Structure 1
Amino acid sequence: MELSLNIAIGATIIGLVVGMLTGIFGVGGGFLMTPALMIFLNIPGPVAVGTDLTVILANSSLGMLKRRRSGTIDVKLALTIAAGSVLGVLAGSYFLELLDDAPKLIILGKEQETVQYCLLCIFMVLLVWIAGYMLFDYKRNRGKARENRLGSFAGFKVPPYLYFSSLEQPQLSVVTLLILGFFVGVLTGLIGIGGGIFLLPALVYFVGQPARKAVGTSLLLVWISSLAAVIRKTSVGHVSLLLLLFLLIGGLTGTLLGTKIGLSLTGPKIRLYFVYLVIAAVLTIGYKLCVMTF
């Protein structure tokens, strides 16, 4: 794959932005990088996805390295959720294959792939709900110094249990965490994006982890999922090494800067800025739906 100067510069800028998102919020940023590569740089879809995932793996690796002594990564919690996520990804991918032959929708005289169109709509609705809830929560708790909270899962008393030192309610049901991981994995398998963007609010509001620590835990989960995906994408030739080089130049620089910013932010500020990130995701998906519809 040959790269022009414009593509090299554009890839570096895109990598920088996504790297900062990884460092600050612990998300992969694939929901922004993949469409950006396709829309602005005309990179073929399979190559955009495969190369994007490789950048996410590198960025999250550097982000974890920078956070290793910060105490913001709960390894046991991440691995517990990841166990359910792996099964969810497999299930989501299987469901997608089953639904792929569904009859096409006719919207405004244009044929649409039923599964893709409906899933994008559902995904956007979920993101709007997340942004609205987190913004409401930020305004409700603005000015309060206390960051720790009991997550929704604290009320579920289903054995067996595990203890997590990073939580105010340290004892949580393993079943609920596996279900959370499975749900996020299904979304990832069905849509191809979404794992990271859902993890931070899920860890904060469902699990009850403080936002600063949720960023680190989310980062490890993103790393685990991207590692598995990169192995697959590389084996089928969907990674462009030249494109990857320029994305990494921007991405690793952005991750270093973003991690420094993220560690300096308070929990409420992280949640507020994350709302802006979710809004960006909504606009990206909304744009794609408009292009498909009109």
Structure 2
Amino acid sequence: MEFTLNITIGSVVIGFVVGMLTGVFGVGGGFLMTPALMIILNIPGPMAVGTDLATILATSSFGMFRRRGSNTVDVKLAIVISIGSILGVLTGSHFLELLKYAPKLIIFGKEQEAVPYYLLCMFLFLLTWIAGFMTFDYLRNGQRVLDKRVGIFARLKIPPYLDFTSLEQQHLPIVMLLFLGFFVGVLTGFMGIGGGVLLLPSLIYLVGQRTNKAIGTSLLLVWISSLIAVIRKSEAGDINLLLLAFLLAGGLTGTFIGTKIGLKLADPKIRLYFVYVVIVGVLMVGYELYVITF
């Protein structure tokens, strides 16, 4: 792969933006980085996924270091969810490897590579759903900070249970946490996202964490799932070290600045800004799908 000036500058800028997202929201930013690498820089799908995950691993490591002592990470909760996510990462990575050998698609008379097209379609569906759900919640609750946040999982009577001190309703069924981890892990392995874009709303609405604690816990979960995924992607040869270096040049700077901002924002503001970021992802992916399809 030849590195032009556009790819060099573009990868540094993309890395910076994704690093900011990691610091502010506790998400890896893969939901923007993978499609951005494919759409803007024309990086092949598997390489975009693998190098993206390696970048997420580095920026989330730095983000956790910056959050040390902030009391925003529930390690016990992260470990339980990550048990399911490890199996999910391996499953998702296996599916992506199988797709490498899939025949080309014919969509409206135009030939499409299977991996990039499937990835873009899944990104569009996932991001649209998340943006819609969180917009509805913000319009319903506005700037109001809930007196008590109780997640959906806390209302389910499915033993066995575990207690978590970061929650106001501490009693949660283990099986639901494992299922959440598995689902996010599949997305990590298949789509090249750290899972934070799904984990952040899941920890808030399903698990019942306050936003600031959900950000810290999400960051640890992103780190764990990314670590497993990077090992798999390196074995498959899907990580470009030079591209990774350029992404990290911007990514670590962005994470440093983003963490400072994220620790100062109030819960409702963080959720609102997160919706804006996801909508940008929807527009970017939707436009690219429209162009290549029609």
Q: Which residue of 2 aligns with 1:160?
A: 160
CA–CA distance in structure 1, aligned partners of residues 94 and 237 of structure 2 = 22
Q: Which residue is 1:241 aligned to?
A: 241
How far is the alpha carbon of 1:83 from its aligned partner?
0.7
Residue matched to 1:258: 258
Question: Residue in 2 aligned with 1:108?
Answer: 108
Residue 201 of structure 1 corresponds to 201
Q: 1:197-248: per-residue Cα shift (whole Å, max 9, x none)?
A: 1111111110001111111111111111111122233344433333222221
**Structure 1 vs Structure 2 CA RMSD:** 2.6
- 2:140 maps to what in 1? 140
Instruction: Give 5+ residue unaligned stretches, structure 1.
Output: none
- Give the aligned partner of residue 268 of structure 1: 268
Q: Are 2:51 and 2:238, in contact at CA under 8 Å, matched by a contact in 1?
A: yes
- CA spacing shift, 1:40–1:123, aligned 2, 3 Å: closer
User: Match of 2:162, SS?
Assistant: strand
Q: Which residue of 2 aligns with 1:171?
A: 171
Taking the aligned partners of 2:51 and 2:84, their CA distance within structure 1 comes to: 26
Code of the residue aligned with 2:129 in structure 1: it is W
What amino acid is the match of 2:29? G
Q: Deviations over 1:220-279 (max 9, x none)?
A: 111111111222333444333332222212111100100111111111111111111211
Aligned to 1:191: 191
Of stretches 101-110 and 144-153 in structure 1, the one that deviates more from structure 2 is 101-110
**Matching residue's letter, 1:281:** G
Q: Does 1:24 align with 2:24?
A: yes
Q: Which residue of 1 aligns with 2:219?
A: 219
Say whether the 8 Å CA contact 1:147–1:267 is kept in structure 2: no
The farther-off stretch of 235-244 and 81-90 is 235-244
Letter in 1 for 2:184: V
What is the one-letter code of the residue matched to 1:127?
Answer: L
Query: Number of residue pairs matched?
Result: 294
Quote the residue 2:35 is aligned against. 35
Which ranges in structure 2 are unaligned for 5 or more consecutive residues?
none
Q: For the Cα contact (< 8 Å) 1:167–1:208, is it kept in 2?
A: yes
The separation in 2 between residues aligned to 1:237 and 1:102, in whole angstroms, is: 18
Tell me how far apart the structure 1 counterparts of residues 104 and 52 of structure 2 sit (CA, whole Å).
Answer: 29
Output the CA distance in 2 between the equivalents of 1:98 and 1:237.
15
Q: TM-score, normalised by structure 2?
A: 0.88
In structure 2, the CA distance between the partners of 1:161 and 1:287, relative to structure 1 (3 Å rule), is same
Tell me the CA shift for residue 96 of structure 1. 5.7
Pick closer, same or farther for the CA change 1:53–1:77 going to 2, 3 Å. Answer: same
| TM-score, length-scaled by structure 1 | 0.88
